[in-house]
Each structure stands twice: as structure tokens, then as C-alpha cells.
Structure 1
Amino acid sequence: MTAWWRTSPGCGANADSDGLQRWLRDFLRDVLQRRGLSELLADPEFDPASLLDDPRSFAMNSLDMISMASRAAGSLGLDRTGLSDLLLARRSFQGWLEVMRRSLQADDSQIGFYSSGSTGSPVMTLHTVDHLLTECQAFEQVLNGLDVAPRRLISTVPSHHIYGFIWSQLLPGVMSLPVYRVHPATSLPTTWVKTLKDGDVLICTPDLWQLLLQLDMKLPDRFIGISSAGALPADIARAIRQRYPQSSLLEIYGSTESAGVAYRVQDGSDYRLLPYWQLEQNQERWKLHHCKTDLEVELQDNLLKTGPETIQLLGRRDATIKINGHNVQLSALAEIIEQHSDVAAAVVNTSGTDTQRQLHIFLALNHESQPSAPWCQQFNDWMDTRLGNVPPPASVVVGASLPRSSLGKVISWQPESFPRIEGTRLFRSAFTVT
């Protein structure tokens, strides 16, 4: 098995000495992003390791530390080796690294990844490393079959996310290729694009691909582009292939729960399933069965099976849930809330069980500062008149922007982690205190 946490096939100014350091720093970046402290990450001099070295300066209390340590322990399997409690005793970056290395030396067979939680609380999915290595071997064959010979991996995605872990932690070892890390939040495209060469495999999210096009970035003549962590809009994919005709663009379909499922290299063509997946339909839902393991995954998308090994993606299933006997479509509810003149963007998620489910709303306002209590009351009255039979929310968090992960996806949030706006019951503030 590849000891991803120990080996380091990469180099460059942004590379850590081993895979575990890369994973932990990316994990801590994600913690800061979820706490509304993403502006710190824009400073190239800021080291996310300082979150563990001095958590109080980031307003991290003991419960916050327990939550963060629990998530890290679950992801790396410290619960299985019995070492998870040591994370609370060794509260420093080096202390966590030592505990994690000790645990991984005993058992590195599985690793967990958290979903973005865009329609509810993020849930961790465990994968065997062998399963993820099988995916790497499949994509090694795909990459070697393209017109451009891969020579180097350029990763712009975090390694604690399943997409980044597969392509920047495991694949470099499988293909014996160097990997170079780029942090888009701290380096402008005009800076790091200059370092790209023919034969580079550029690993990006759809948002970053779109930005590179908008900025009219000059890329090498012959590169391999990889896009995942969301659907790449058809017009963006087409524009990339037209602008760089000697290069190859690989669009990957997958999820946190399944890892990679299928891929395509041509505009508008069907996606080809990776060779170990079998697709089965149960009523109107599709289920994946892994031929080499017992893994089964129910897909959250509507598909059209066009052949034994090919599919078309028809979009996600309707995100309608039932709350107190009422059907609520979260995306439609957010669109209604965005009609308010002071709301730039909104997202709605839920908490609780099916019988005790509650709504939670996050608002990105046009205001540059925290609204007053009278504004909150006026907005609450506006919701009462506009939302009809929709049950009232259990909380409303207001801020300057929506909560996003280090991949740019809108994510869930913990309302209780934000201070209550004085004079209100539902409303909490995510605005930076100055």
C-alpha cells in the first residue's frame, strides 16, 4: 500500500515535506474557512498551523477544539487505533502530526472525507485506500491513452478533499510523477500560470477553470486539464477545448460518497464508467455497485444509461424535504429569500431527524456591516408574508458572504458558533468584528 502520509513525490515552494503535513494544513485551512476567517488565508505569510499552536487567538474554545479533533480523528482513523484522545493532549501542529503518524503507522487502510453539507450537516464517508488506489490505476490508463504524455501534476485543490486526495496524494505515487501545489487563494493566476509547462496535468475545480478563461490566461500548448468537484458548464468545457486544441480536458463525475464514477474527454459525449463500477436502477433511483468490493452507493443524480459502460447526466434529483408535514424545496426557498432587496445571496439547510427537522438560513447581505435589531424584525415579518406555509426557521445567520469550503462550495454551518444579534431571538451575525 502507498504510504501517502509519509512519501513526498512533490517539490516546489508550496510543498510540505510529506503528505500528512499537506493534509493537515489543508484540513486547518478548511476549519478557518468554515469559521468565516477566509480573509486570513489570502495572506501568503499566514501559516494555518498557527490555529493549533495558538487556538485562543482564533476564538477557539474547548468545545470547538473537541469538534475539530473529532473530525480529524475520524478522517484519519485515530478512533480505530485508540489514539484519538491524544489530539486533545498534544495541542500543537507538531503534536498532532506525531499522534497522526503513530496512528497511521498502525493502520492506514481507511480514510474519511466529509461532504460539503450544502443541504444539511456534512457527513463523513469512509473509503478504503485500496479502493482509491484502484481509481488511481484506472485513471493512470486513461491519462496514458491521451495524446499528451503526462509529466507533472499541478494541483490547485485541497488534499483533505477526496478529489484532491486522489489526484495530489495518491496518483503521484502510482504514476511516479512529481506534484506541485498551488494555493489559488494566495497566488494570482498570472503568477502561477507562468510556471506551467507542456505535459502538465492541471487539476482544478469548475470555478477555477471558468476564472482562467475569463482572465484569458495563456496556458501551455499541450497540457491535460482535469475538472471535478462539480459539473463543468458545457460552454466552459467547449471553450477550453477550442482555445487549447492540442491539449486534453478530462471531466470527472463523482462524489464524496462514491469517489470517481465516470469521465469524458469530448464535448457533449457520454460519460464512460470506470471499469469496476456496475450501475443498477431501483425504481427511479440509480445505485452503483463496486465489482471488487462490497461498496454500494445510491446516486443523488438523475441518469440516462446509454450503453453498458456509458451514461448521460441529467442533473441532481429534486431536493424536496418534508418539514412538519410540508414539502419544502430548499433551492426554491433560497430563491424566494433572494428576492429581498437587501439580500445578495441565500442558502437554506436543515438539521434534526425526519420527525423533528428544522430550517436554518444563511444570508449574504448587501450591507457592509451587521444589521440592527429593527432590520432583523422587519426581515422576519417579510419572511412571514412571503414564505406561506413554510415553517419558520430555527435560525438566521447574516454575513457579508455565504459560507464556503476551500473548494469554493457552499457548505453547512453551525448557527451556535456565531454570536446572537442583541435584541433578537433567531438572528446571528457572521460579520467580522472590528
Structure 2
Amino acid sequence: MSNWWSNRDLIDAYLDAFVLEFIQRTGRLASLKPNDALQALKNGTLGFDSIERIELSSKLSLALGLDKTGLSDLLLAYQAPEKWVDICQQSLSIEDRSMHFFSSGTTGNSKPIFRNNDHMLAEALFFQQLLGPSSGVVSTVPVHHIYGFMWGILHSWRQATTLTIRSPLFFTPMSILEQLKEGETLIATPDFLNLVMRLGLNLPKDITLILSTSPCHEGLRQWLVKQGVKAFDIFGSTETGAIAYRHIGDSHYQMLDYWELDGNKLLCFPELSLEIALQDKLSFSSKGGVTFSGREDRVVQVHGHNMDLQQLESILHSHPDVKDAQVRTYSEHGILKVKALIESEAALLESTTWQQSFCQWLTQHIERMELISSIAATDKMPKGSLGKPCDWHGDRVIQLYPSVTG
């Protein structure tokens, strides 16, 4: 079988998603749709300065390993996207044993995560054998991130079928579901499916559904069971790939058969001499199933992005006018959300100028502000009866974000 990158449609889709996210993070052409990013790059309508072009080229080189083959500089020499595709294909034909995926960090710059190509292929083969044939793959997630790459790029390549991108940013849930065809595999997130459920829509019963990136709460799981769709919930991370899976009718997960556990803390793939520290708490049922009960640290997933609550608190503490800060999670319609509260002088909090200045500071220090539902302020941090920080309510605080910034 040929390699995924030899398929022009697949590498086009990967590069387009990569460039599209970079464009959106610079604040340019926010309405740009999938499959348009490479063309916009070709047309020169993005207005990238030299530093931005270097940053984009450098990140893409690291992601696909062009830095190892000596072809990375060619990305700066050519602006035409078809040349970029040719350069990437040429580089991957020389060396394709490893890739880097950028983590979904929210409180700082995302970091590149190394992934072994043989490991990714083993995962793709495992699920190909588990799920059987597919007439097409429809991805609602970006295909240059690990989840979208594994299921959008590699799964469609292994199945020798078509890949269609249907981002919820540009297509309504109704449109996405109406365009699904019999036998297709839909790649989605619990957030998207929560929205489908709340809108009162029904899933086609003749498709296969894959969901991952954040926990599937019990209410959503029960709804999916009633929908009667063939659905699989995948548990994993950028660092590990898929660790375990479950049919949506099961309460416990099953470990992928190539993983071994060393003391519930270390994932081992002996065939590849691969060892990865496990960040999640797990327990085994009497029947051999696995239950995951959160992370060992304070990292949570919000809309498919990792957020380190401890790091977010530290960033808020670093502002010279902030005396104290706390960050909490809460659930709304089964979706995990994050809110924060800072303590500062009452005189400052009453100043609209200070509020606006503080919100500007937030956007400069926190990469994905849109994933934080609210940031409020008080002149006295609320404490419980034992003197420990407790939850806060609207009548006791001033709402800073998003009310001031809109």
C-alpha cells in the first residue's frame, strides 16, 4: 500500500488545515473556509510579513520533518501552494518515520509533540480491523491535529476511501447530518454531539460514529445508545494516541491490545520499545474493563483543548494588581467549562479604564481566551466556613470577561 502523503487529496487537506489554523490565529480572514487557505496563500491576500512566513514555514517543517531532510528552506523560496505540496511530498519520501503535532495548549504557546509513525500506523490498523470497511470519512475536526489526523487522514487512507471536511465553524449540524451517506464514518467531538442532542436532531443509523477529545458524559452516552447508531468513544491524548476504546453501549473501556501497563503509570508498547507516562487515573473492573477518572494533574479538556488550571492561576497571579486568583470548572448542558476569579483593590475594579487594560493584558498572556467562559473580579476572595476558597456568584463579583471585551 502507498503512503498517506502520496495521496494528493490527503496531503492537500492536511496542509490546508495547517495553514487555515495559522491564518485564524493571526486574526486574518476569520471567515476563510476549509479548502480555501492554500488558495489564499497562493493569491497573496493574507498579507503575511516576513516573520509570519518564517513562523508558518518553521512550524510546518517541524510537523512533517522537513527540518530533518534539509528541504525546509524551500518553503520560503516558493509561495505557490502546489509547490509546498510537492516539497512536503518529496521530504516525506525521504523520511516519514516521525511527525510532530502541536498540543492544544491554552495558557501559552502550544508545544510540539513527537509521534512515532509506526505507532500511528499500528493504531490505524487496529481500528481498521475493529470497524471494518467504510464508504467515506467525514471529519468535523481539524485533520492536522492528532485526532483528526488519525481518523481523517490515516483512517480514510487505510480504508482507501474519500475524506470530506465539514467543520462546525462553517457548516450547521443540520447540514452536516443531512449530507452524510450510508456507510460513512463521522468523526466528531462530544461538544458537537451535545449540540446535536440539544437541537433535537437525530443521527443517521446507517453510519459509524467516532467521538473523542473530551469526556462523553453519561447523558450523552445514553442518548447515543437510544439513537441506535454504531458509535465508538476513543480515549487518548496527543502524546499517547488512542489508549482505549468502548462501544457507546458499554460503560467501561477496553485497552488497545498492543498496550501494556507498568504499575498503572506507564504505557508500554514493547514491539516498538515505546514507553509513555500515563497522566490519567484508571481502575480495572472485574471483567477487565478500564475506567478513567480524571488526570493526575489539574489539566482539563475544554472543547477538545487542554487547559492547565494551575498554569492559568499562575498567569493571573503574575499581574501586578492581582492579589489572589482561583480557577474552577463547572458543567453546563454536559459540557465542561472554565471560569476564573481574581482579587484586587476595589478602587481599581471600579475603573472602566483599568478593566479594559486588564482584559487587554489577558489577551496578550493567554493564547485562547475564548475557551474561558468568564473571568470575574472581587475585592475580597470568598471563603467557606473552614476558611478555604469557595465558589462565587454574580452578585458578589464584577464581570470582567467577556462583558468588557465584548
TM over 0.5: yes
How far is the alpha carbon of 1:21 from its aligned partner? 0.7
In 1, distance between residues paired with 2:364 and 2:93? 44
Alignment match, 1:396: 362
Alignment match, 2:400: none
Decide whether aligned partners of structure 1 residues 280 and 306 sit closer, same or farther in structure 2, where only a CA change above 3 A counts: farther
> Map of 1:221-370 to 2, 5 A cutoff?
221-242=205-226, 244-245=227-228, 247-267=229-249, 269-281=251-263, 286-306=265-285, 310-319=289-298, 329-330=310-311, 336=326
In 2, distance between residues paired with 1:156 and 1:302? 29
How far is the alpha carbon of 1:347 from its aligned partner? 7.5
Alignment of 1:188 with 2:172, yes or no, is yes
Three-state SS of the structure 1 residue aligned to 2:13 is helix
In 2, distance between residues paired with 1:58 and 1:338? 38
Matched-pair contact (CA < 8 Å) for 1:263–1:273: yes
How far is the alpha carbon of 1:178 from its aligned partner? 3.3
Q: RMSD in angstroms over aligned alpha carbons?
A: 3.5
Alignment match, 2:117: 129
Alignment match, 2:129: 141
In 2, distance between residues paired with 1:272 and 1:259? 14
Matched-pair contact (CA < 8 Å) for 1:276–1:290: yes
Which amino acid in structure 2 is aligned with residue 68 of structure 1?
L
Equivalenced residue count is: 341
Which amino acid in structure 2 is aligned with residue 152 of structure 1?
G
Q: Deviations over 1:220-274 (max 9, x none)?
A: 22322100122222211221111x12x2210000111111110011446221110
Alignment match, 2:41: 52
In 1, distance between residues paired with 2:159 and 2:48? 40
Q: Deviations over 1:317-347 (max 9, x none)?
A: 2339xxxxxxx834667784799xxxx9767
My pick for the range that moved more, 272-281 or 90-99, is 90-99
In 1, distance between residues paired with 2:61 and 2:214? 27
Three-state SS of the structure 2 residue aligned to 1:142 is helix
My pick for the range that moved more, 73-82 or 301-310, is 301-310
How far is the alpha carbon of 1:51 from its aligned partner? 4.9
My pick for the range that moved more, 231-240 or 80-89, is 231-240
Three-state SS of the structure 1 residue aligned to 2:271 is coil
Matched-pair contact (CA < 8 Å) for 1:34–1:403: no
Which amino acid in structure 2 is aligned with residue 259 of structure 1?
G
Decide whether aligned partners of structure 1 residues 102 and 372 sit closer, same or farther in structure 2, where only a CA change above 3 A counts: farther
How far is the alpha carbon of 1:58 from its aligned partner? 4.0
In 1, distance between residues paired with 2:129 and 2:98? 24
Query: Normalising to structure 2: TM-score of the pair?
Result: 0.73
How far is the alpha carbon of 1:86 from its aligned partner? 1.3
Alignment match, 1:73: 61
Alignment match, 2:152: 168
Decide whether aligned partners of structure 1 residues 116 and 38 sit closer, same or farther in structure 2, where only a CA change above 3 A counts: farther
Relative contact order, higher structure (CA 8 A, sep 6+): 1
Decide whether aligned partners of structure 1 residues 267 and 192 sit closer, same or farther in structure 2, where only a CA change above 3 A counts: closer
Decide whether aligned partners of structure 1 residues 431 and 4 sit closer, same or farther in structure 2, where only a CA change above 3 A counts: farther
Tell me, which stretches of 5 or more residues in structure 2 are unaligned?
Answer: 300-308, 317-324, 330-336, 342-350, 373-403
Alignment match, 2:320: none
Tell me, which stretches of 5 or more residues in structure 1 are unaligned?
Answer: 8-16, 321-327, 349-370, 381-393, 411-429
How far is the alpha carbon of 1:152 from its aligned partner? 2.9
